[in-house]
A and B are shown apart, each in its own frame.
Chain A
Amino acid sequence: MTTPTVTARTRRRLAQWGFVAPAVVFMLLFFGYPLVRNVVMSFQHYTPKTFFTGEAPFNGADNWSNVFHDALFGKALWHTLVFTAGSLLGQFCIGLALAVFFSRRFPLNGVLRSLILLPWLVPMVVSGIVWRRILDQDTGVLNSFLDTLGAGGHTPWLTSPDLALLSVVLVNVWIGIPFNMVILYGGLQEIPKELHEAAALDGASAWRTFRSVTLPVLRPVVTVVLVLGFMSTVKILDLILALTDGGPADATQTLGTLTYQNSFVQLDFGAGAVVGNVLILISAVFAVFYLRANRTEGK
């Protein structure tokens, strides 16, 4: 009596899993497996020879101690923090200012707002190369513009170790503004009008209203923007390779570019995996923040 219904239910469950299974398998292969493999690889000795012999003997914590004793690792870690913090600060502040600006009603608002997305949609490598041209010391348009203003004009934006990181941050701020603007604009639209009207009735100034009404209500969106911004900024590779290739004198080397250098230039995949794992660890800390923010917002 019961067997037919049980098999029918089992068959239905199986059919339902058929919808989800391909995605699960794909994600296990393309995300789960690399995560595990990177941990294993960080304890293996890779050389260019490995690709002919296939042998990568385990070498304990050698890769880890080599990487941590290399002065470049500390530099890359520091550059990653400066790059990420600087980019987020710039993108967020300008993005928020633009979101507030575009929340006013004025003619052509919608057209201008969507056109401003373009820098975000262009491949990052391409943006990097365009900016490399603009920032060129001798023939770049930025220096010739500054020259006409009588303000310097021979600034080595990308070729001086002191300036290169700052320049890379500024370019990334430019890339990130549209993303910040769109999400914050969306958040601003969802604030009930009555809140602002009430504040106006109480005689609050525009700045006061912004600080005491708008910002607190916007907070969940702000958290999401900042965490997502962090996740995408901390791992950036293409922009830096296109602008400076990590140079000059490793001045723009970050954990992302260092992973690439170790693995695909030096062909030491063990060392690359170590740096990659550090990058994952940093991301994981922020993933926790993200999930918290998501959860508190969802309920």
Chain B
Amino acid sequence: MATHTPTASRRRWGSTVAGVLVLGVMLFPLYWMLNTALQPESGLLQVDPVPGGLDLSGFSQAIGDQGGHLLTSLAVSLGAVALCLAISAPAAYGLARFGLRGSRTIVFGTLITQMVPGIVIANALYNSYVDLGLVNSYFGLMLADASLGIPFSIVLMRSFMVSIPGEVIEAAQIDGAGPVRTFARVVLPMSRNSLITSGLFAFLFAWSDFMFALTLNTTDEVKPVTLGIYQYIGAHVGDWGSVMAASVLSAVPAAILLVLAQKYIAAGITGGSVK
């Protein structure tokens, strides 16, 4: 197997070619999004397979119309990540280490919450949000978006923190560190990878959120880009160039994260679900 005979190596490159073809088919819609974005005037005409020149007017239109919503998405998503980590990291540690009575029930409940349909939550939340004055507020949307990442993060970080050797934590305690110090100085640094993975997913969940944006806002004050694009197609059906340019911009974080942090992404998809 280890020796590279010419036929074996040719067969391997054959698989690479097949793999590129599969990737081409899978990514075609995203290519088409970019291609259409670069041919902005193509409203009702057919789109060329390759952009003739780089016409960026679709992008400047999209940034003009959707730039603010992109910033809103960014602010809300970062806020949701901060909330999510602040709430779930200590909880994951507590559930992994303290042997509190009821821990099992809480972990069980955490698994269950991941199965509650979002629209059901929105249905009940909207009425409470109206009463609490949280409709059309950044904080209200951050809270709701944090709920998308919190159960996932608790499960993911807990399964990591269970595997931290007990001696390390005991050593810190013998040195006189209280639970908070031990957590901040020992546990968090050791859990760096699972924190990054959780934060990444919390960001992706919040950035992709459409449902809470749609249901918990009644005015245009707090409008993330997902909602912006959805309303865009209602108003700009003829102007697909700028709709697609806005779509490209909204997909940029996913692309950046995939390139920079692909190992965390793969770890999150498997770790958050199978374990």
B22 touches A (CB below 8 Å): yes
Q: Please, could you name 10 A-B residue pairs with CB atoms under 8 Å apart, sorted by A?
A: A19-B179, A27-B113, A34-B121, A41-B124, A123-B251, A130-B244, A139-B46, A186-B274, A287-B115, A291-B108
For residues 48 through 101 of chain B, which have their beta carbon under 8 Å from a beta carbon of chain A? 86-88, 90-91, 93-95, 98, 100
Q: Which of B32, B207, B233, B262 contacts A134 (CB 8 A)?
A: B32
Decide: A141 and B254 in contact? CB cutoff 8 A: no
Decide: B115 and A224 in contact? CB cutoff 8 A: no
B-contact bits for A125-159, CB 8 A (1 contact / 0 none)? 11101111110001101001000000000000000
Q: How far is the CB of A187 from chain B (nearest CB, A)?
A: 8
Q: Which of A19, A98, A238, A286 contacts B93 (CB 8 A)?
A: A19
Residues of B within 8 A of A264 (CB): 126, 214-215
Which residue in chain B gives the minimum CB-CB distance to A279? Answer: B117
Give the residue among A106, A183, A279 with the most B Cβ atoms within 10 A: A106
In the assembly, what is the distance between CA of A132 and CA of B247, in Å?
A: 12
A-contact bits for B206-220, CB 8 A (1 contact / 0 none)? 011011001100000
Secondary structure of the B side of the interface? Answer: helix
In the assembly, what is the distance between CA of A104 and CA of B16, in Å?
A: 10
In the assembly, what is the distance between CA of A234 and CA of B103, in Å?
A: 29
Which residue in chain B gives the minimum CB-CB distance to A182? Answer: B269
Decide: A221 and B130 in contact? CB cutoff 8 A: no
B136 touches A (CB below 8 Å): no
B-contact bits for A94-109, CB 8 A (1 contact / 0 none)? 0000100110111111
In the assembly, what is the distance between CA of A269 and CA of B128, in Å?
A: 13
Which residue in chain B gives the minimum CB-CB distance to A23? Answer: B91
B-contact bits for A241-281, CB 8 A (1 contact / 0 none)? 11000000000000010011001100001001100110110
Decide: A118 and B230 in contact? CB cutoff 8 A: no
For residues 9 through 53 of chain B, which have their beta carbon under 8 Å from a beta carbon of chain A? 12-16, 18-20, 22-23, 26-27, 29-30, 32-33, 36, 44-47
Residues of A within 8 A of B124 (CB): 33-35, 37-38, 41, 273
B250 touches A (CB below 8 Å): yes
In the assembly, what is the distance between CA of A171 and CA of B223, in Å?
A: 26
Decide: B116 and A20 in contact? CB cutoff 8 A: no
B154 touches A (CB below 8 Å): yes
B-contact bits for A3-36, CB 8 A (1 contact / 0 none)? 0000000001101111110111011001101110
Q: How far is the CB of A131 from chain B (nearest CB, A)?
A: 6
In the assembly, what is the distance between CA of A13 and CA of B91, in Å?
A: 14
A231 touches B (CB below 8 Å): yes
Q: How far is the CB of A270 from chain B (nearest CB, A)?
A: 10
Q: How far is the CB of B69 from chain A (nearest CB, A)?
A: 12
Given contacts A125-B226, A238-B210, contact A130 B120 (CB under 8 A): no
B178 touches A (CB below 8 Å): yes
For residues 108 through 123 of chain B, which have their beta carbon under 8 Å from a beta carbon of chain A? 108-121, 123
Residues of B within 8 A of A187 (CB): 274
Q: Which of B19, B128, B179, B266 contacts A117 (CB 8 A)?
A: B266
Given contacts A108-B19, A174-B29, contact A263 B123 (CB under 8 A): yes
Decide: B13 and A107 in contact? CB cutoff 8 A: yes
Which residue in chain A gives the minimum CB-CB distance to B93? Answer: A19
Secondary structure of the A side of the interface? Answer: helix
B-contact bits for A222-233, CB 8 A (1 contact / 0 none)? 001100100100
Residues of B within 8 A of A38 (CB): 120, 123-124
Given contacts A31-B147, A112-B19, contact A141 B47 (CB under 8 A): yes
B258 touches A (CB below 8 Å): yes
Decide: B126 and A263 in contact? CB cutoff 8 A: yes
Decide: B116 and A121 in contact? CB cutoff 8 A: no
A283 touches B (CB below 8 Å): yes
Residues of A within 8 A of B247 (CB): 126, 129-130
Given contacts A112-B23, A256-B117, contact A106 B90 (CB under 8 A): no
In the assembly, what is the distance between CA of A212 and CA of B229, in Å?
A: 48
A294 touches B (CB below 8 Å): yes
Which residue in chain B gives the minimum CB-CB distance to A224? Answer: B274
For residues 195 through 252 of chain B, which have their beta carbon under 8 Å from a beta carbon of chain A? 204, 207-208, 210-211, 214-215, 226, 229-230, 233, 240, 243-244, 247, 250-251
Q: How far is the CB of B61 from chain A (nearest CB, A)?
A: 16
B144 touches A (CB below 8 Å): yes
For residues 178 through 222 of chain A, which have their beta carbon under 8 Å from a beta carbon of chain B? 178-179, 182-183, 186-187, 221
Give the residue among B18, B121, B123, B126 with the most A Cβ atoms within 10 A: B123
In the assembly, what is the distance between CA of A228 and CA of B274, in Å?
A: 9
In the assembly, what is the distance between CA of A217 and CA of B104, in Å?
A: 28
Decide: A133 and B112 in contact? CB cutoff 8 A: no
Residues of A within 8 A of B183 (CB): 19
B255 touches A (CB below 8 Å): yes
In the assembly, what is the distance between CA of A117 and CA of B204, in Å?
A: 13
Residues of B within 8 A of A51 (CB): 130
Q: How far is the CB of B159 from chain A (nearest CB, A)?
A: 10
In the assembly, what is the distance between CA of A287 and CA of B150, in Å?
A: 18
Q: Which of A107, A122, A259 contacts B120 (CB 8 A)?
A: A259
